[in-house]
Amino acid sequence: MAYDENLILHGVASGGVHLDLDENGVNALTLAVNATGNKCLDIRKTGAKGLVASLILTEVADADAYSDESTIFIEDSDHLDRGWARVTTFPTLYAHIRRIWVTTTVGFNAADIGAALTSQAPYHGQLLAFDDALLAVGSGYVYVEMTDAGDLFTDAVGQTVNGTTGRSTVTRVCVGLEPNIQMQPHIYNRRFSTNKRYIRANILGATQVTDSLGICWILLTNDASVSPDPF
């Protein structure tokens, strides 16, 4: 069972129209593709239990809202109209992220994740992750979701960047994603197993996008040559 047109969980609506990942998505409850490009797959006759779901982003996001994000689940059930349960989750997709090299004066901790990150400029955004070296006094990257177009975090070297607990100074000008460059094309693979009859993608996720994150395909295969992500 390799990728083919019968193994598409999301991507094309009736008439062959390619669809963006956006706030209009409606989860599938039938084997027929719905108006937002989603469908359920009946895997009973395949005998497959070990599967790989692939999330393929084919173009740069076109998101004006800086908080645009989406988490996509793969779900299974023995019934089309009920009993759907999550079997695997893709990484959260963020439209606008900055990456900043800092040196801590007070180490970051778990309380900083998801909280505001601010700077002297001032810029502010949501702290998504940080390098392990920043748990103590050390140097590394912090990753922050921009709140609006002005949050470029292009501080001069030596300015402060503060989370809820962590305190740091900028030791390199912001690198990585440049201004106005959004989420890029990428492929994410998730391996899972199931003994249920039906599979679908839940594209509503924990936080649905309010704009477009670009054309998105979600495909299913049991081809052993498709490697899952190492995380």
The domain segmentation of the chain, as residue ranges, is 5-91+182-221, 96-170
Question: How confident is residue 205, by pLDDT bands cut at 50, 70 and 90?
Answer: very low
**Percent of the chain whose predicted confidence (pLDDT) is above 70:** 84
DSSP β-ladder status, 97-106 and 139-146: antiparallel
**pLDDT, mean of residues 90-110:** 89
What is the average pLDDT score of the chain?
83
pLDDT of 186 strictly over 90: no
CA 82 centroid distance within chain: 26
Of 31-35, 123-127, 170-174, 207-211, which range is least confident? 207-211
Question: Residue 206 pLDDT > 50, yes or no?
Answer: no
Lowest pLDDT segment from 47-56, 121-130, 203-212: 203-212
Distance between start and end Cα atoms, the chain: 24
Average pLDDT over residues 58-71: 76
Structure tokens at 140: 């590394």
CATH architecture of the region 96-170? Beta Barrel (2.40)
Residue 152 predicted with pLDDT over 90: no
Q: What is the pLDDT of residue 178?
A: 53
- 228: preceding bond cis by omega (within 30 degrees): no
Q: Does 192 score more than 50 pLDDT?
A: yes
Q: Write b or e for each residue in 112-142: b if 16 or more Cβ atoms lie within 10 A of its Cβ, otherwise e.
A: beeeebbbebebbbbbbebbeebeeeeebbb
Is a pLDDT exceeding 70 seen at residue 176? Answer: no
* 112 — pLDDT class (breaks 50, 70, 90): very high
At 177 the pLDDT is: 53
Average pLDDT over residues 155-178: 81
Give me the pLDDT at residue 31, please. 92
Overall average pLDDT of the 135-147 stretch = 91
More confident residue, 70 or 198: 198
Q: Which CATH architecture has domain 5-91+182-221?
A: Sandwich (2.60)
- 4 pLDDT higher than 80: no
Q: The pTM is what?
A: 0.77
Sign of the four-CA dihedral 183, 71, 203, 57: positive
Cα angle 24-213-142, degrees, rounded to a multiple of 5? 130
* pLDDT score at 222: 80
